[in-house]
């Protein structure tokens, strides 16, 4: 256990070293070659899984899976043409997991770890792994559980207007982020925090918290506090569609969306018929009688767009095909007029 603590301490101090690590990825069948072009291209979910497994054994950490099906293209039947079938994709993924799972469990069991710690893993560990470590499996979750279980707790805390969040360590269980809690740390959410800056705050807090948790596990003082499911809420995965700004919403809500969806997928709108990502904005007042989506004010330095309540003053943005820029640079090359509807 002391060795593990030392390793975590070292990792907390020298986290920058992780940036130098190399991750091998493998595209086992590519997106367009067919068996007619190359008989070695894996076709069935079983073939894809076998190729993925061999890549993993060779050292790959990520496998790109493009599933296949027979399809007529320009009057010619092509064997193993690329497919958008979710069913085939799911089957290929599951068969890959089946091939890797048993060997993974055997390897972990051979290590005989005192404890297993996961962070932002995104998967529920099977009981065959949960039961291996002496002190159990511990998850570091970026929220004050039971609030914001799920994949995107950091971003949703900002979007929902929370004033504070934190990091919780917990024993892993069969459910998603439902295990008994060990301890937590509280982190305030600033008015200018984005998903990116808050992630950095929580990472620093979490590094210290896991050291504390590991020490308590070793000396027998770690507690088990069951979660109150009635207080839980779910932080669903982010997607690009979430970033499409609806100006009928209050400006305060949109401003939080802008901050919460950075660095990905980013809030966006359309100006002059082109997509524009919004990186910086603030809430300003507006006169009554102005329709949401209408430009309320334009100066040499900034502009504002009417919302369902108040208006959103844009300070930083990224036009389609260009680099991020401040509003001054954008207005120098784009003519906007008050009263114009975007």
- CATH number, position 200: 3.40.50.170
In three-state secondary structure terms, 188 is: strand
Q: Which of 32-36, 241-245, 281-285 has the lowest mean pLDDT?
A: 32-36
Cα–Cα distance measured from residue 278 to residue 266, given in angstroms and rounded to the nearest whole number: 7
Q: Report the relative pairing of strands 274-284 and 234-235 from DSSP bridges.
A: unpaired
Q: Of 231, 254, 288, at which residue does a domain stop?
A: 231
Helix extents (H) in 27-177: 45-57, 86-111, 127-130, 153-159
What is the mean pLDDT of the segment spanning 33-37? 70
- Residue 339, in any domain of the structure: no
Q: Is the pLDDT of residue 4 over 60?
A: no
Q: Rounded to 5 degrees, what are φ and ψ at 76?
A: -115, 130
Q: Is the pLDDT of residue 276 over 70?
A: yes
Handedness of CA 227, 230, 233, 234 (dihedral sign): positive
Q: For 198-252, what is each residue's pLDDT tens digit?
A: 999 999 999 999 999 999 999 999 999 999 999 999 999 999 999 999 999 999 9
Do 201 and 288 fall into the same domain?
no
How many domains is the chain partitioned into structurally? 3
31 vs 176, higher pLDDT: 176
Q: Rounded to 5 degrees, what are φ and ψ at 294?
A: -90, 140
In three-state secondary structure terms, 211 is: helix
Q: Of 211, 231, 251, at which residue does a domain stop?
A: 231
**Cβ atoms 195, 259 nearer than 8 A:** yes
- Residue 338, in any domain of the structure: no
Q: Is the pLDDT of residue 157 over 90?
A: yes
Q: Is the pLDDT of residue 3 over 60?
A: no
Q: Is the pLDDT of residue 1 over 50?
A: no
CA angle 184, 201, 148 (to 5 degrees): 50
pLDDT of residue 75: 66
**Cβ atoms 153, 165 nearer than 8 A:** yes
Do 187 and 258 fall into the same domain?
no
Q: What is the DSSP letter of 294?
A: B
The H or E element spanning position 187 is strand 181-188
Do 130 and 223 fall into the same domain?
yes
Q: For 180-193, what is each residue's pLDDT tens digit?
A: 999 999 999 999 99
**Confidence class for position 57, pLDDT limits 50, 70, 90:** confident
What is the mean pLDDT of the segment spanning 1-26? 50
Which domain, by its residues, includes 205? 116-231
Q: Of 111, 140, 167, at which residue does a domain stop?
A: 111
**Cβ atoms 278, 324 nearer than 8 A:** no
Q: Is the pLDDT of residue 97 over 80?
A: no
Do 93 and 170 fall into the same domain?
no
Distance of CA 89 to the CA centre of its chain: 21
Do 256 and 317 fall into the same domain?
yes
- Residue 340, in any domain of the structure: no
Do 127 and 198 fall into the same domain?
yes
**Confidence class for position 73, pLDDT limits 50, 70, 90:** low
pLDDT of residue 295: 97
CATH code of 294's domain:
3.10.25.10
pTM of the model: 0.75
Do 28 and 68 fall into the same domain?
yes
Cα–Cα distance measured from residue 72 to residue 119, given in angstroms and rounded to the nearest whole number: 45
- Residue 13, in any domain of the structure: no
Q: Identify the top-confidence range among 23-27, 98-102, 312-316.
A: 312-316
**Cβ atoms 43, 83 nearer than 8 A:** no
Q: Which of 212, 228, 213 is CA-nearest to residue 137?
A: 213
């Amino acid at each position: 256990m002391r060795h593990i603590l030392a390793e975590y301490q070292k990792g907390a101090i020298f986290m920058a070293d992780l940036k130098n690590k190399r991750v091998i990825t493998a595209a086992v069948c590519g997106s367009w070659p067919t068996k007619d072009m190359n008989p070695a291209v894996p076709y069935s979910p079983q073939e894809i899984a076998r190729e993925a497994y061999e890549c993993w054994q060779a050292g790959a950490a990520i496998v790109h899976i493009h599933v296949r099906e027979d399809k007529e293209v320009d009057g010619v039947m092509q064997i193993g043409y690329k497919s958008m079938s979710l069913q085939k994709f799911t089957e290929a993924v599951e068969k890959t997991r089946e091939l890797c799972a048993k060997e993974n469990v055997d390897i972990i069991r051979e290590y005989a770890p005192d404890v297993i710690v996961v962070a932002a893993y995104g998967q529920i560990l099977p009981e065959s792994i949960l039961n291996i470590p002496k002190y159990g499996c511990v998850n570091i979750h970026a929220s004050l559980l039971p609030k914001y279980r799920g994949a995107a707790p950091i971003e949703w805390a900002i979007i929902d207007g929370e004033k504070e969040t934190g990091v919780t360590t917990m024993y892993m269980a069969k459910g998603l982020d439902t295990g008994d809690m060990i301890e937590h740390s509280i982190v305030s959410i600033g008015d200018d925090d984005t998903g990116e800056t808050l992630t950095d705050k929580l990472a620093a807090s979490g590094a210290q918290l896991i050291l504390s948790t590991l020490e308590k596990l070793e000396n027998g003082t770690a507690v088990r506090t069951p979660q109150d499911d009635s207080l839980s809420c779910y932080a669903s995965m982010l997607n690009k569609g979430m970033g499409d700004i609806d100006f009928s919403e209050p400006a305060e809500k949109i401003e939080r969306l802008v901050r919460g969806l950075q660095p990905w997928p980013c809030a966006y709108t359309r100006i002059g018929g082109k997509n524009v990502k919004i990186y910086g904005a603030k809430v300003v007042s507006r006169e009554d009688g102005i329709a949401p989506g209408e430009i309320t004010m334009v100066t040499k330095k900034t502009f504002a767009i009417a919302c369902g309540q108040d208006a959103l003053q844009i300070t930083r943005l990224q036009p389609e095909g260009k680099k991020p820029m401040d509003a001054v640079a954008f207005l120098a090359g784009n003519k906007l007029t008050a009263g114009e509807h975007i």
